[in-house]
Amino acid sequence: MRWLAVLVEFVLTPVLVITAVWCWHKGIHTGWFAASGDAPGYTASRYSGPWLAGAAVVMTAAGLLLLDLIARVFRLAR
């Protein structure tokens, strides 16, 4: 049963990391604005707080899961 928990954590950790990266990319919106008259063109980035906070929470969960995975593997190895 303990090896099953290790296997689940081993699979779930990368899934959470990929989810965190996806949330982070959804949280940053870049807009390009063309020059208009005397105003130069520029690029603006808009940050969405809920997406970035979600990425931080999911990444924290992935980190805790990774620490638990390492502890379980070393406990089983002894």
| Token representation of residue 1 | 């049963």
In a domain, 73, yes or no: yes
Give the number of domains in the chain: 1
User: Whole-model pTM?
Assistant: 0.81
In-domain check, residue 41: no
Domain ranges, residue 27? 15-31+46-78
Domain-located, residue 66: yes
> Does 52 fall in a domain?
yes
Domain for residue 38, yes or no?
no
DSSP letters, 15-48, are HHHHHHHHHHHHTEEEEEE--BTTBPPEEEEEE-
Phi, psi of 34 (to 5 degrees): -75, 160
CB atoms within 10 A of CB 78: 4
- Is position 61 within any domain? yes
Q: Does 39 fall in a domain?
A: no
Q: How far apart are CA 41 and CA 6, in angstroms?
A: 52
CA torsion angle for 16, 66, 2, 19 (degrees, to 10)? 0
Give the tens place of pLDDT for each residue, 37-73: 888 999 999 999 999 999 999 999 999 999 999 998 8
pLDDT at residue 2 greater than cutoff 90: no
Q: Does residue 55 lie in a domain region?
A: yes
